[in-house]
Chains A and B, each alone.
Chain A
Amino acid sequence: MMQSKKITLALCAALLVVAAGCGRKPADTGTTGTTGTTVVKVTDVSLGRAIGSDKAISDSTDNFRPNDTIYASVSTEGSASSATLRAKWSFEDGQTVDQSTQTIAPDGPKRTEFHIAKPNGWPAGKYKVEVFLNDQPAGTKSFDVK
């Protein structure tokens, strides 16, 4: 009697092991998106006094002089048939200094530059540039004019 109980218990244990093995998923084959990059995102916003032909900042600073042309270089990744970048430049008192938009059709890492200049010089103070991608906030940089 005891012998048959032991056998039954051993069989049950073996069945449990097999059942657990059947329920286990195969090794993860990757749960990240497999549809490819179809979304554009802003990866960086940098400021400076000059840009190169690749639209990258070549004279990086966040302290400008009144007669500087101020450049913001916006790096994006991803691809899309159309995406709109907008740069909103503001002064410390809340005034909007300027707003510019650039519509792009990126197919990989790209840079878009926005620039502002003021012939009679920038008033000293604190400024910021807010970058929007398809009207969604995508980055902000503050800078000073002294």
Chain B
Amino acid sequence: MHPSQSGRLNQGEFTVGFFDKFGKQDEKKPKADFSNVQSGSSSTAAEPAATLPPLNPPVGTTGQSQTYVVVAGDSLSKIAKRFYGDANKWPRIHEANRDLIKNPDLIHPGQKLTIPGA
């Protein structure tokens, strides 16, 4: 007796049927676009002590303000760490950009922030 006559499908028949069904669903529903998702994170815990010098420290600009364009994955503490070498100095950047940043936990890629001099 053929397996399908017994009401039981063999493994190959099930697999083909399963993916055929999935394929049809994919055709109906366009793939969602998550390219413009904005994200961030913060913690009540301290950040580990820095073991490396800050990335791209300002050269010869001590005391001068700079402009920085936010990129995906940035947070104020990350930017503070980058410019000042200390993530805990993020309130300085927040203060200088009060008009742009309502929620210090939420900044958006493309925002142009003023970074006060160190």
Q: 1/0 per position for B80-118, CB-CB distance to A under 8 A?
A: 000000000000000000000000011010000000000
Chain B residues near A103 (CB-CB < 8 A): 47-48
- For the complex, what is the distance from the CA of A46 to the CA of B63, rounded to whole Å? 42
Contact B45 A106 (CB under 8 A): yes
Which applies to chain A's interface (DSSP): helix, strand, loop or mixed? strand
Interface size on B, residues (CB 8 A): 22
Contact indicator A98/B46 (Cβ below 8 Å) = no
B108 CB contacts on chain A under 8 angstroms: 119
How far, in whole Å, are A110 and B42 apart by their CA atoms in the complex?
11
Contact with A along B6-48 (1 / 0, CB 8 A): 0000000000000000000010000110101111111111111
| Interface locus among A25-33, A87-95, A132-140 | A87-95
Contacts of A107 in B (CB 8 A): 45-46
Asked if A98 and B48 sit within 8 Å, CB to CB, the answer is: no
Task: Choose from A102, A106, A120 the contact partner of B42 (Cβ within 8 Å).
Answer: A102
Q: Is the CB of A115 within 8 A of B105?
A: yes
Q: A91 to B34: give the CA distance in the assembly, Å.
A: 9
- Interchain CB contact under 8 A, B32 and A115: no
Find out whether the CB atom of A117 lies under 8 angstroms from the CB atom of B37: yes
User: A69-B106, A93-B32, A95-B31 are known contacts. Are A104 and B40 too (CB-CB below 8 A)?
Assistant: no
Query: How far apart are A74's CB and chain B's nearest CB, in angstroms?
Result: 9
Closest chain A CB from B78 CB (angstroms): 10
Interface flag for B1 (CB, 8 Å): no
Complex: A81 Cα to B39 Cα, angstroms? 25
A residues near B (Cβ < 8 Å) are: 51, 54-55, 69, 76, 81-82, 85, 87, 89, 91, 93, 95-98, 100-107, 110-120, 123, 125
A-B contact pairs, 18 of them (CB 8 A): A85-B41, A87-B41, A89-B39, A95-B32, A96-B34, A100-B41, A103-B47, A105-B46, A106-B46, A107-B45, A110-B43, A110-B44, A111-B43, A112-B45, A115-B40, A115-B106, A116-B37, A118-B38
**B: which residues have CB within 8 A of A?**
26, 31-32, 34, 36-49, 73, 105-106, 108
